[in-house]
Amino acid sequence: MGRGKIEIKRIENSSNRQVTFAKRRAGLVKKAREIGVLCDAEVGVVIFSSAGKLYDFWTPKTTLPRILEKYQTNSGKILWDEKHKSISAEIDRVKKENDNMQIELRQCRHMKGEDVNSLQPKELIAIEEALTNGQTNLRDKMMDHWKMHRRNEKMLEEEHKLLALRMVILEHFLAFFSLELIILRNCRHASAFAN
């Protein structure tokens, strides 16, 4: 004879409720595992207890995002709005940026001579070329700065010569006008005596 049917309603006694939850949760997970194995189905079970504790089960090679994506595709219901998509895209961007920074950090270590024993000859050649290029670029920049400094120095010398020439010309004009002024005064003084 089978078991009698029980009325499906909330169990008031908390200890009975917890025991029933544990047994039924185990039974549900067992059935999910069986259907996954027997039917090669992708199954995911997510359960939250009344206390908020999470219990979950996933068949092998099954993930929550994959299940939700399939559900969204097949049902036509939108589970992820644009905000969630943009957050997901931002997470992907940050992960990619982090990966790139890790690569750059590793390259910097290699450039400083750290961790070079683990490198292949091809990688060592690439680092040598990068260092040679960096050295050439640095030398070119230093030469450009030196040339600019020399150019500025020559311009200052030319400007100094021009100012010195102007000063000489101004001194000659000043001497000429001073002489003219003396002559003019003497002429006035002489004409005043003549009268």
Query: pLDDT (tens digit, 9 = 90+) per residue, 108-156?
Result: 776 777 777 777 888 878 878 888 898 999 999 999 999 999 999 999 9
CB atoms within 10 A of CB 110: 19
Question: 46: which strand partners?
Answer: 56
The answer to whether residues 36 and 42 touch, using CB atoms and an 8 Å cutoff, is yes
How far is 161 from 137, CA to CA, in rounded Å? 36
Query: pLDDT (tens digit, 9 = 90+) per residue, 82-97?
Result: 677 778 788 889 999 9
Q: Which CATH superfamily is domain 11-78 in?
A: Transcription factor, MADS-box (3.40.1810.10)
